[in-house]
Structure 1
Amino acid sequence: MAINESKQPIIVKKIIKKGGHHGGAWKIAFADFATAMMAFFMLLWIMGSTTEDQKAAISDYFNNPSVFMGIATSPSQAQGEGTGSKPSLIDFEGAIDMGPPTPEPELTALDPERLDELAREQDAARLAALKELLERKLDQSETLAPYKDQLLIDIVPEGLRVQIVDKEHRSMFDLGSAKLKDYTSDILRELGGLINQVPNRISLTGHTDARPLGGLSYSNWELSTERANAARRALVAGGMRADKVGRVVGFASTVPFDTSDPNNPINRRISLIVMTREADEAMHEEGALLESRGEAAAPAPADQP
């Protein structure tokens, strides 16, 4: 059998490349890692450079960016009890509807000074809304309306002040006593429920006129303090949390409402201040300073209701 010698053999050549390009996936992973580390070190820097109060303000703002504690500034998809959301900024049984919220400017960095400013703005908005509510209730409430001329409401540097003053032939307490009149108790109970709608703490002060009580063992100092404490018990009975009370003080006749007539019945009053955050902090700092010096005054009676 003849063999065809013209047929060439088939040669297979293998080419093996050494080294070469591995792709760019590692660059993406490294960029993600660098971004995460930068965010982590920025967080550490912020935590180390802010005070406890500023950290509390940051936490309060991002957990609840609203004017009133516990109420979201915009409605969620789920409405009703337990959802943490209501269709308006504040709902005091239909008393106030402040409409859609004003969006806050987006924060590009956690600036402590800006957060302090936001906290002050929230404080001011809360107290302004509470003042408007109380003024409406003075006209609408069967309990408060008859005593409208004895309830004085205004904004002072320390916060929202509500003064319950005596009137000739219509005092808030029994004569020379810390026993509340029935209508005074009703007024304070209703105020307690309204004040509890905001997170701010309160300061209570009692005042008398300049008429002496006629005894050395029991003076206007004791009377004014006990009247302030009686007011505290009535507020708590009306639904205000007991831990909202920051101070109960009696001033006797040393801070008259009517300086021209120390015996004017209007000087007999209870002054309630819903304090701003700054006023509350200042009060604590003052108390801590006195305590460190051993000069803290004896606390007012604080027996539970």
Structure 2
Amino acid sequence: MSARRRRAAGGHGGGHDGPDERWMASYMDMVTVLMCLFIVLYAISTVDQDKFVKLKASLATGFGQESSETVDTASGVVVPPEAVDEKGEGFIDASTPPTESVVENEPTAAELAELEVDNLEQLEEQLRIRLEQAGHAQRVEFSIDERGLTVKLVGSETFFDGNSDALRPIAREVLDTIGPVLAGVPNRVSVEGHADPRGTSGRFPTDWELSSARATQVLRRMVEASGLPGARVSAVGFGSSHPLAPGDTPADRELNRRVDIVVHSMQSDAVRSLIPGVLAGEEAAPAAVPPERGG
């Protein structure tokens, strides 16, 4: 029982039954002070420059910052700068050489022109098949140029009565055949009306009004009956300012009285300017070949 408890229990005070251990507190304080002294002495001692340089080089090599032929490094997973992706999460195995990234070459303008011609020819073939199935293949002509694919409605008398903008039944059949195909492509479409230079009579004072009215009727039919989006289709009348045939024979007038549906190319001007050369059979310029990488 301790002295305090003995006093509380009514025992006699005075005396000490065990050894006095208060000296241990002073001893522990002294040891702590000595430890702090040695730590300070070590901290202010001279650093071995050679060992410091080796440690620095080893750490830098291990983290892939620089190469070293004299410092031995660990063979774990390291991240060289060239292997880090945009998010900083790229890792490669240090035991295998990094895989070279493959950079795909951008297509040249000539290659894009060839691809655009292929796309336009496929669209033309699709329209031809639909017209043949409907029995109207002979009523439409096609041409491809730098603007795109032009669908020519041959002979205005087939599609319109004389000096009239009202679509004839056969015209509606042809437009209802090609309209759904054009509605399924993203290209911009323009409807261009033309007239022969003989002039008009009736309610149209000039060829401008007649050609514009016919182009508008063709546009309306494709938009309302075939679902061609109105936001990417337009109509324009050229009157008799763009004749296909310079003469005044019945055949010439038939060619000049026409409505053209132009499916415009979506390529840039530089690419579209190469389309006539591709159609003429000129070879496309070869694509640039990337330089060989050192092995």
Q: Report the TM-score when normalising by structure 2.
A: 0.54
User: Identity across aligned pairs (percent)?
Assistant: 26
Note closer, same or farther for the CA distance 1:107–1:207 as it changes in structure 2 (3 Å cut). Answer: farther
Task: Tell me, in whole angstroms, the C-alpha distance in 2 between the residues paired with 1:128 and 1:34.
Answer: 45
| Residue 228 of structure 2 is aligned to residue 240 of structure 1 | yes
Deviation at 1:217, TM superposition (A): 6.9
Task: Tell me, in whole angstroms, the C-alpha distance in 2 between the residues paired with 1:179 and 1:164.
Answer: 15
Amino acid at match of 1:213: T
Amino acid at match of 1:157: E
Note closer, same or farther for the CA distance 1:189–1:107 as it changes in structure 2 (3 Å cut). Answer: farther
Deviation at 1:120, TM superposition (A): 3.2
Task: Tell me, in whole angstroms, the C-alpha distance in 2 between the residues paired with 1:240 and 1:178.
Answer: 20
Aligned counterpart, 2:96: none
Written as runs of structure 1 = structure 2, the 5 A alignment for 1:60-99 is none
Task: Tell me, in whole angstroms, the C-alpha distance in 1 between the residues paired with 2:152 and 2:179.
Answer: 14
Equivalent residues of 2:112, 2:271 under 8 A apart: no
| Residue 174 of structure 2 is aligned to residue 187 of structure 1 | yes
Instruction: Quote the RMSD (CA, aligned, Å).
Output: 3.5
Which one of the candidate residues 150, 155, 166 is aligned to 2:139?
150
Aligned counterpart, 2:103: 108
| Residue 168 of structure 2 is aligned to residue 131 of structure 1 | no
Equivalent residues of 2:204, 2:210 under 8 A apart: no
Written as runs of structure 1 = structure 2, the 5 A alignment for 1:165-180 is 165-166=154-155, 170-180=157-167
Give secondary structure in 2 for the equivalent of 1:183: helix
Deviation at 1:29, TM superposition (A): 5.0
Amino acid at match of 1:271: D
Task: Tell me, in whole angstroms, the C-alpha distance in 2 between the residues paired with 1:281 and 1:231.
Answer: 31
Task: Tell me, in whole angstroms, the C-alpha distance in 2 between the residues paired with 1:274 and 1:128.
Answer: 12
| Residue 196 of structure 2 is aligned to residue 196 of structure 1 | no
Task: Tell me, in whole angstroms, the C-alpha distance in 2 between the residues paired with 1:196 and 1:280.
Answer: 24
Deviation at 1:253, TM superposition (A): 1.5
Aligned counterpart, 1:269: 258
Amino acid at match of 1:250: G
Equivalent residues of 2:208, 2:238 under 8 A apart: yes
Give secondary structure in 2 for the equivalent of 1:277: coil
Amino acid at match of 2:115: Q
Which one of the candidate residues 198, 210, 214 is aligned to 1:211?
198
Q: Report the TM-score when normalising by structure 1.
A: 0.52
| Cα-to-partner distance string for 1:45-70 (whole Å, 9 max, x where unaligned) | xxxxxxxxxxxxxxxxxxxxxxxxxx
Which 4+ runs in 1 deviate beyond 6 A? Answer: 18-24, 279-283
Give secondary structure in 2 for the equivalent of 1:152: strand
Higher relative contact order (CA 8 A, sep 6+): 2
